[in-house]
A = this chain, B = another copy of it.
Amino acid sequence: MARDSVLTRAVRIFDAFDPDHPSLSVSEIARRTGLHVATASRLVEELVRHGLLARDERRRVRVGLRMWELASRAAPTLGLREAAMPFMEDLHAVTGHHTQLGVLDGREVLFVERLSMPNAVINLTRIAGRLPLHASSSGLVLLAHAPAGLQEDVLAGELAAFTPSTVVDPRRLRALLADVRRGGVALCPGYIDERATGIAVPIRGPGGKVIAALSVVVPNDAGARAQVPALKAAARGISRAVGADVL
């Protein structure tokens, strides 16, 4: 096997950080990446020199401001996010719960924006976090409008259950996707956490293509469905702002 390239190893190092591990020692990095300590140490030094990683007062390593800057200045979702933000703020103010924006990446939904309040209902999503397509409301919206090949792949693959409410039967999932296309909304009570209901609607880009999902996470109770009109209205506004013909 060929030796990993510098870039492959750098990606493994960045991949070792997550919201629960925002700072790591070099030995933790070595353990989490499977790199030798000497290799990890050398590469961390070089990444720190570029500002892509940074060391804090305790010499622990963090993602650097420069890395964030290079990735964010021309981020692929910047236009979508700027168009969505005013509508997301209003939706967030009205519902008082988590409001988020997700895009399809591979076989997962990647959340590119999230507004939340500290005391809102439980929410597993995070900015730059991922959830599987079949279990989350945003994922179901994106999957419902994905190419048939991806739908078949996901339905034929492993379908993990987060709770007893998660739909993991391929036949039921197929019917659910049809419902989502027909109703223009995915309503998922307890699919990810029994206490929460995810509700997602599609955001369309030019040509009517679904480019993202707008979602809220609210308590899993009878009031959840009442959020749908506000969510649909916000999604129309965002779609119009990114140039879709929403009529």
Q: Interface of A with B (CB < 8 Å)?
A: 5-8, 10-11, 14-15, 17-19, 21-22, 46-47, 50, 52, 54, 62-79, 82, 85-86, 89, 92-93, 103, 105, 110, 112, 115-118, 126-129
Chain B residues in 8 Å Cβ range of A79: 22
- Assess the B127–A21 pair: CB atoms within 8 A: no
In whole angstroms, what is the CA distance A92 to B92 when docked? Answer: 13
- Assess the A17–B73 pair: CB atoms within 8 A: yes
Chain B residues in 8 Å Cβ range of A62: 74, 76
Given contacts A65-B103, A76-B54, contact A70 B70 (CB under 8 A): no
- Assess the B103–A76 pair: CB atoms within 8 A: no
Chain B residues in 8 Å Cβ range of A69: 105, 110, 128
Out of B17, B65, B118, name the residue touching A105 (CB < 8 Å): B65
Closest to A23 in B: B74
Chain B residues in 8 Å Cβ range of A6: 5-7
Chain B residues in 8 Å Cβ range of A129: 73
In whole angstroms, what is the CA distance A240 to B79 when docked? Answer: 32
In whole angstroms, what is the CA distance A7 to B178 when docked? Answer: 46
- Assess the B89–A11 pair: CB atoms within 8 A: no
In whole angstroms, what is the CA distance A64 to B105 when docked? Answer: 10
Chain B residues in 8 Å Cβ range of A15: 70
